[in-house]
Amino acid sequence: MASKATSKAGPPRADGNALHVPVLLEECVNLLGPALTAEAPVMIDATLGMGGHSFAFLERFANLTVVGIDRDPEAIELAGERLARFGKRFVAVRATYDDVSDVAAEYGRAGRADAVLMDLGVSSLQLDDEGRGFSYSGDGPLDMRMDKTGGPTAADVLASADKAELTRILREYGEERFASRIAARILAARAAEPIERTGQLADIVRDAIPAPARRTGGNPCKRTFQALRIAVNDELALLRRAIPRAIEAIAVGGRIAVESYQSLEDKIVKREMAKGATSSTPAGLPVELDDRAPYLRLLTRGALKADAAELQANPRSASVRLRAAERLRETPHTA
């Protein structure tokens, strides 16, 4: 499962990194803060990245311990350097975020965390490094793995998938209406030469999408690159496992906050939180059954979005959707 990570000594390369701007930081602090009032609270930052959110929480809550989870060894190293000043109050664990309940069992108070924060999607560390292959704005190797130590790359997927599979990936994970056209162009292009660079793929996608459709809706490559990233990293399957486990990982009275950046993620988060906030008492009974009462209380009305000030300061916050909930009781199957 998870492995504890240690950072190397040296200058804090991630400290003050201008490219890393935590999204909806104040909202996250306000939503999770009431759960961090114990003598020695524990918060799990399930998507550590460069440690921006963790840094803010550690600064504001003097007795807080943050356990940061990330599958990316580089993120673990950089965040470890940045947060080294907090000593034993910060622990980095290399794992995927569906290991959150195991991490809570090992590092939490009585096996539970007081709060869990999840900031989904690709981090600034990954997006701004052309060598990672996440961005369509430059030219780099088509990698897209959040953990570069193993597994197929985006180039591998493009080289091996047939037209039906490529179309499914683009349509299901990117909600791309021109999925079939793009898949056909990819097959034609790879027959001539391997597709190994982000610039190659971006050109193929632009040529496949009709000119009128390219004039609206932002960069036409966005959906294809999103779809490949999700497929390479198995993100939605991880998230479906992670959200219920994260809810289980928090103590009664604890809180969870999740930031999503595209509709497929937000639907999963919304469904799991709504499930916990809904009574399962059979219709028609005059009283609420104790073991069927909601085990979550929603803390946001719908999803919070970035306001004008945040959008101006941090354009990457444009698509964020923040949902949060409080744990009211044990869930039925653990009671």
CA-based nearest residue to 246, from 110, 111, 98: 98
Q: Retrieve residue 130's tokens.
A: 């052309």
Amino acid at the residue 136: Y
Backbone torsions φ then ψ of 117, nearest 5 degrees: -120, 135
Q: Edge to edge, what strands does the sheet with 321-327 contain?
A: 3-5, 90-94, 65-70, 42-45, 113-119, 250-260, 321-327, 296-298
Is 254 assigned a ligand-binding role in the annotation?
no
136 annotated as ligand-binding: no
* Nearest-angstrom CA–CA distance, 279 and 331: 12
Distance CA 17, CA 12 (A): 10
Cα separation, 282 vs 175, in Å, equals: 37
Q: Distance of CA 22 to CAs 26, 76, 192, Å?
A: 9, 17, 42
Does 295 show up as a binding residue in the annotation?
Answer: no
**Does the annotation place 20 within a ligand binding site?**
no
Q: How far is CA 159 from the centre of its chain?
A: 27
In the chain, the amino acid numbered 332 is P
107 is in an annotated binding site: no
**Binding-site sequence positions for S-adenosyl-L-methionine:** 51-53, 70, 97, 119, 126
Q: Which residues are annotated as a binding site?
A: 51-53, 70, 97, 119, 126
